[in-house]
Structure 1
């Protein structure tokens, strides 16, 4: 178990390093995926604060979703974070998948955010 956690941390750090190189001042769309929920937030690293956030634990999403741990829930969160970002004036972001593989729920969230109007 410790080895898989270390591999996750190495992968996350490698992704973060590459994001810092290509960000050019764009905010970062960060994804956190647990076994039961999924969270997304757009972070301004220059100022060190969160611009917008969305997750499956919010009341308006929680009632409409069957579960917080499937691709439909991830797509709903992606769409919601894109709507909130457009309202806050954010159009371009850099996608931070953390240490997660770009597949399944992470990919569904990213695709829904793109359809919602975010560019990355």
Structure 2
């Protein structure tokens, strides 16, 4: 098995247990080599409620490392969630290890006021 197949199996295993609703959406994290993307998803209706990424203009304009930008993405999604009236989410790391940029997104979201 190669790395992508192993990660996909982990993602399927996580998604069996993790599901979001309108009141407590799933905070899904996708990490590419350069950027990081975060979505708040209502799995009952299949709708993305809010999204943020490191490609957003205000985040991309910032200087810093990818980990620092990941924390800004977490703060941005927390701000969008509070605008929607959401305070609690279910964290979905997307098959990635809870380390580095994924952990930085979670820390930023918690700092912004979201509860996991």
TM-score (norm 2): 0.92
The correspondence of residues 56-75 of structure 1 with structure 2, limited to 5 A, is: 56-66=54-64, 70-75=66-71
TM-score (norm 1): 0.89
Structure 1: give runs of 5+ residues left out of the alignment. Answer: none
Contact 2:51-2:77 at 8 Å conserved across structures = yes
Deviations 1:14-68 (A, max 9, x none): 1111213xx576210000000010010100111111111100111111111335x
Q: Which residue of 2 aligns with 1:54?
A: 52
Whole-angstrom CA distance in 2 between matches of 1:98 and 1:43: 13
Contact 2:36-2:53 at 8 Å conserved across structures = yes
Structure 2: give runs of 5+ residues left out of the alignment. Answer: none
What SS does the corresponding residue of 2:40 show, helix, strand or coil?
A: strand
Q: Which residue of 2 aligns with 1:16?
A: 15
My pick for the range that moved more, 82-91 or 23-32, is 23-32
Cα RMSD for the two superposed structures: 1.5
Aligned residues: 115
User: Structure 1 residue runs of 4+, over 4 Å off?
Assistant: none
Whole-angstrom CA distance in 2 between matches of 1:57 and 1:109: 14
Whole-angstrom CA distance in 2 between matches of 1:56 and 1:3: 28
